[in-house]
Amino acid sequence: MMAGIGCPLKRLNRLNRLTRLTRFTVPVLIVAGSAPALAGTVTVYGRLNTAIEYSRASTATDGTALGSVVRQTNYRSVFGLRGDEDLGGSFKAVWQIESNLSLDTGQGVIASRNSRVGLQGDYGLLFMGHWHTPYTESTMGYDPYYPTTAGYMALIGNGSTSTSNNIDDTSSFDRRQKNSVQYRSPSFGPVSVWLGAGLPEEKTTVARNPALYSAAMVYDSGPLNATIAYEVHQHYQAASRNDDALKVGFAWQVRTGTRIAAVYEHLHYRTDTGDLQRNAYYASLVQQVGVGSVRIGFGLAANGTGSSTDTVGFFRSGPDTGATQITVGYDYPLSKRTALFAFYSRINNRSQGIYDFAINELGISAGADPQTFALGMRHNF
């Protein structure tokens, strides 16, 4: 989905409108004994997002060459139900069950995407479930190609995991976390705060105590949205050693039809063999041209540094381990709910770089440059 500007409570409203443009909302009247009748709603929504891609990679440093492939790819299509119940005063119960749909294979798993139950009121929103971390959600709207093959997750966040606990994927900082407890504050002027924790349920099965802690503070005022986010992965790579990530970014609606965004990220892993660090940068431009929009994204991952000899996700320490990514495309709306799109994306690895697409990866060797051209269609309901 090629998303718009992201921010906490206001951003949720915008994203909700994008994904439920023709939603089917059922009002519900709940009567319990002699208690006052309370109102609730149930909303059916979804996104169907797929493309035909021609993908290939250049020859790797060691001479390995992959053949080209024509493939149908799924960009995390979803089917969901969400609702709320008025509990009186300012309180209401909120819930959501979101499932993935794979249009290319016909597969899907219920509640495999953002799903939760919680309470919302004047003091904010508190919920439990399976949800994007605050660190992830704070900037994913800055990328007009999130979440497609061309998404910035190849460089920003070190890959993407659609769903994980504290031990299944220990490299990615772009993630939807199982067993989450999260809080969204009300707005304090233009500022709001998100907090989240991935509970350490795996402590009984591994010889360490893995957990996740995530936070984001977002400024949203008029055309400017800015964020700073921080996340800690406790004991992910090694016992008694924590990984962490820091990210700052902004999105600015320069004028009608023009939006720019930028992100800086620093990742720091602490493995059994030492420290591994890396800086990365991302910038995007969305420019209305005719009825549609041109969308450009550029990412840069610096060389990995540190004493660690491990490879974590898409990077490792040493010279010539960095990469750049450039994506150019056009989005053409057929209606408020349906759009056609095309894009070309290429990752240019240095001789020892191993960056691959975070979604629909090709499986490259060091020094190869993966690239893809896509023609697709997206429908929101």
Average pLDDT of span 280-297: 98
Percent helix, strand, coil in the chain, to 5, is 5, 60, 35
Calculated CA dihedral for residues 80, 49, 132, 202, nearest 10 degrees: 90
**Residue in 318, 283, 323, 317 with CA at minimum distance from that of residue 302:** 323
Q: What pLDDT does 255 receive?
A: 85
Token pair belonging to 260: 């720019």
Token pair belonging to 103: 């249009």
pLDDT category, 58, cuts 50, 70, 90?
Answer: very high
For the stretch 188-214, what's the b/e string if a residue is b when 16 or more beta carbons lie within 10 angstroms of its beta carbon?
eeeebbbbbbbbbebeeeeebebbbbb
| HSE toward the beta carbon, residue 171, CA cutoff 13 A | 18
Does the pLDDT at position 31 exceed 50?
Answer: no
pLDDT category, 26, cuts 50, 70, 90?
Answer: low
Instruction: Tell me whether strands 160-164 and 174-184 are parallel, antiparallel or unpaired.
Output: parallel
Q: Is the link from the previous residue into 36 a cis peptide, with omega within 30 of 0?
A: no
Per residue in 178-218, pLDDT (tens digit) is 999 999 999 999 999 999 999 999 999 998 999 999 999 99
The percent of residues in the chain predicted with pLDDT above 90, rounded, is: 85
The whole-angstrom separation of Cα 309 and Cα 12 is: 41
Contact yes or no for 328/353 (Cβ under 8 A): no
Average pLDDT of span 368-376: 98
The whole-angstrom separation of Cα 196 and Cα 188 is: 19
3-state secondary structure of 14: helix
Q: What pLDDT does 27 receive?
A: 57
The whole-angstrom separation of Cα 331 and Cα 101 is: 22
The whole-angstrom separation of Cα 84 and Cα 41 is: 6
Length of the chain: 381
pLDDT category, 1, cuts 50, 70, 90?
Answer: very low
Q: What pLDDT does 11 receive?
A: 44
Per residue in 151-184, pLDDT (tens digit) is 999 999 999 999 999 999 999 999 999 999 999 9
The structure's pTM equals 0.89
The whole-angstrom separation of Cα 293 and Cα 332 is: 7
pLDDT category, 24, cuts 50, 70, 90?
Answer: low
Q: What pLDDT does 106 receive?
A: 86
Q: Which residues touch 24 (CB under 8 Å, ≥6 apart)?
A: 43, 44
Contact yes or no for 293/330 (Cβ under 8 A): yes
**Residue in 124, 90, 120, 95 with CA at minimum distance from that of residue 28:** 95
| Burial class, 332, CB count within 10 angstroms (exposed 0-12 / middle 13-18 / buried 19+) | middle
Report the alpha-carbon angle 370-375-376, nearest 5: 115
The whole-angstrom separation of Cα 181 and Cα 192 is: 17
**Residue in 36, 297, 3, 253 with CA at minimum distance from that of residue 132:** 3
Does the pLDDT at position 353 exceed 70?
Answer: yes
Amino acid present at 217: M
Q: What ranges in the chain are assigned the alpha helix state H? A: 9-19, 134-137
The values of phi and psi at residue 20, to 5°, are -140, 40
The domains found in the chain, sorted by start residue, are: 9-380 (2.40.160.10)
Report the alpha-carbon angle 185-190-193, nearest 5: 25
Does the pLDDT at position 12 exceed 50?
Answer: no
pLDDT category, 256, cuts 50, 70, 90?
Answer: confident
Per residue in 219-252, pLDDT (tens digit) is 999 999 999 999 999 999 999 999 999 999 999 9
